[in-house]
Amino acid sequence: MMNQVVEDIAEKDDKTNLNDFMSRITGEIVVKGFFGKLAEGFQLEGKDAQIALTNLTGEISLIVMENLYSFVKSLLFGVKMWKILPSKQEKDLVRRVENVRIKLNDLILKRIEQLKDNPVQDQDKMVFLDLYVTEYLKQQAQNEQQIDLEEILHQFITLFFAGTDTTATVCGTCLYYLAKYPEIQSEILEEVNEVIGNADINEDNLNKLIKVNALIQEVLRLRNPAFVTLFRTVKRDKQVQDIKLKKGWALVQMQNASSIQDTHFDNATEFNYKRWLSKDSIIKNDNGYIHIPFTAGPRNCIGQHMALMEAKIIIALLVRKYKILLNPAVQQIRFGIKFLQCVEPDNCVLFEKRI
């Protein structure tokens, strides 16, 4: 399915907006991975579902960052902000979210009715929705309902919100570096041709894309998209290594601090994907928490394996199909924060079809 989505969208999309192009691919993968055939032709707000959902989640994120009124309310009230003296723009977003919820619920109810009569026998052929609905029906039959429609809906929203823009941004950044360093692009293309040739990527050859994986790891190290500022208040006096923290202090985490220090990586601020190909120890003075792009512990990213699989497939197939070039019309390229850390402007790279 991932192979097909990349091929289809690459053909249809004009590829003039890098981040939108990547989000269309990753959004379609999430929608089809969750709803399967139910998602075919599925539209929201008059657009393909993945485009409408990507636009909506983006607008929800940006209003809090760009609108001072909404930003202050989010700090004071958290998610309750949407119900407290909502602005016209906030009301419109809430209305659109409710419409999306209704249509997604209709899809879930439709699948429940289908599986009541014809349950999927082969678990390997189930999409995410089938797994949840099967368990929902099982609990219903046993009169032990723990999963309800709201839970299933929230599982989809979580997967889409956490798995669309993040994976898309990683892929977009990878493509930018391939355009910036044509020699790396040649090395990646050579590996792709050797490993998969003209075939689809499958479970046998996916993990043989060693250089593609190294490229992704270097992007995650140097330009991790999840550049969220975390604020904490010190609850009690505490010594952390050589720093004495005082009760009441406000702390701001520098999320990529460990990744850009020469004490942990050689030439840490330089982009060098080959560091991940070394058989020697890559990370110096590693305490297990230096390179954790998906975080660590019990609340680490539950979708990291799917995200890495998507990224490998997207990058490999696009490099095989197109020569990635820097756009000569763009004078300055930078990394900005639009909820996620992404390369800007959106037209910084061009795609030239390979002969």
- The answer to whether 13 touches 5, Cβ cutoff 8 Å, is no
At 157-167, the pLDDT tens digits run 888 888 888 89
22-31, 253-262, 301-310: which has the minimum mean pLDDT? 253-262
Q: What angle do CA 183, 188, 190 make, to 5 degrees?
A: 95
Joined tokens for residue 54: 């990507």
301 is in an annotated binding site: yes
Query: What is the helix (H) or strand (E) element at residue 350, kind and residue range?
Result: strand 349-353
The predicted pLDDT at position 229 comes to 66
The predicted pLDDT at position 228 comes to 64
The predicted pLDDT at position 55 comes to 82
Give the rounded percent of residues in the chain with a pLDDT score beyond 70.
Answer: 99
Q: How many domains does the chain have?
A: 1
> Given a cut of 90, is residue 145 above it in pLDDT?
no
Q: What is the pTM of this model?
A: 0.86
At 220-246, the pLDDT tens digits run 999 988 866 677 889 999 998 889 999
At 54-70, the pLDDT tens digits run 888 878 878 887 889 99
Give the separation between CA 86 and CA 82, rounded to whole angstroms: 6
> Rounded to the nearest 10 degrees, how much is the dihedral formed by the CA atoms of 328, 331, 336, 342?
0
At 127-136, the pLDDT tens digits run 999 999 999 9
| Range of 38-42, 102-106, 186-190 with top mean pLDDT | 186-190
Q: What angle do CA 10, 14, 15 make, to 5 degrees?
A: 70
Per-residue CA distances from 340 to 19, 167, 181, 265 (Å): 11, 11, 23, 24
Give the separation between CA 6 and CA 48, rounded to whole angstroms: 15
The 8-class DSSP code of residue 204 comes to T
Domain that holds residue 246: 1-353
338 φ, ψ to 5°? -115, 75
Q: Domain with 42 in it: what CATH number?
A: 1.10.630.10
